[in-house]
């Protein structure tokens, strides 16, 4: 199974070949359907790679625009999502290169009703509810992504946030499987150190 087949597994709304062909012919409904199918995932990937909502929205718009602009070059037999992921990834890297991406406003980007936004280390004397600690870990973890290199960040995002397999990541990033594992482990180790306080609190 190729990465395109694999990543495209989430295209659960049926084959997209016909949609892509119709979109190429200028069918507005088909284009809208493609946008509706993929825009959330495109936005979330951009958000995870970049760490703030404004940049993520910009990149999402650019990615969609490029997708439709180059639709005639796209093999309609292949699933759309991996192609979009590549576009998003390349645009995010471009953005990193052009300027240092605005540091995380990411605490505002969670779909989480809890209002805990403290960035102080957890106080072990306070008997925090486990759910609250987990919520805090998620926030800190996402904020800590900003302290990784773009290369480390993208591999953690693809594996741990997007849940792609090693094979899919290897094909997306065009690196060997062994490199996926070593790069991923290096990134995870660095993240582990960055949120060690929260991890210790949860592990005990």
Q: In the complex, which residues of this chain contact another protein (CB under 8 A)? A: 26-28, 31-32, 35, 39-40, 42-44, 47-48, 53, 57, 60-65, 68-69, 109-112, 134, 137-138, 141-142, 148-149, 151-152, 156, 159-161, 163, 165-167, 177-178, 180-193, 195-196, 199-200, 202-203
CA distance 25 to 21: 7
Asked if 194 and 146 count as a contact pair (C-beta separation under 8 A), the reply is no
Least separation, in Å, of the C-beta of 103 and another protein? 17
Query: What is the number of other CB atoms lying within 10 angstroms of the CB of residue 53?
Result: 16
Closest CB to another protein among 31 and 79?
31
Both structure tokens of 89: 């990834």
Closest CB to another protein among 128 and 151?
151
Asked if 33 and 202 count as a contact pair (C-beta separation under 8 A), the reply is no
Closest CB to another protein among 48 and 92?
48
Least separation, in Å, of the C-beta of 181 and another protein? 5
Least separation, in Å, of the C-beta of 123 and another protein? 19
What is the dihedral sign for C-alpha 107, 111, 115, 116? negative
CA distance 202 to 198: 6
Looking up tokens 């805090």, which residue turns up? 136
Least separation, in Å, of the C-beta of 127 and another protein? 19
């Amino acid at each position: 199974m190729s990465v395109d087949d694999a990543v495209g597994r989430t295209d659960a709304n049926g084959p997209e070949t016909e949609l892509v062909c119709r979109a190429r012919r200028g069918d507005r409904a088909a284009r809208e359907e493609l946008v509706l199918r993929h825009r959330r995932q495109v936005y979330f990937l951009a958000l995870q790679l970049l760490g703030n909502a404004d940049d993520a929205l910009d990149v999402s718009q650019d990615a969609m625009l490029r997708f439709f602009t180059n639709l005639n070059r796209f093999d309609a037999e292949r699933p759309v999502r991996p192609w979009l992921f590549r576009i998003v990834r390349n645009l995010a890297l471009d953005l990193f290169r052009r300027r240092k991406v605005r540091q995380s406003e990411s605490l505002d980007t969670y779909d989480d009703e809890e209002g805990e936004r403290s960035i102080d280390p957890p106080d072990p004397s306070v008997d925090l509810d486990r759910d609250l600690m987990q919520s805090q870990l998620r926030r800190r973890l996402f904020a800590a992504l900003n302290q990784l290199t773009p290369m480390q960040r993208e591999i953690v995002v693809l594996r741990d946030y997007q849940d792609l397999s090693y094979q899919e990541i290897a094909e997306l990033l065009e690196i060997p499987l062994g490199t996926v594992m070593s790069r991923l482990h290096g990134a995870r180790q660095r993240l582990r150190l960055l949120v060690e306080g929260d991890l210790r609190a949860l592990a005990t």
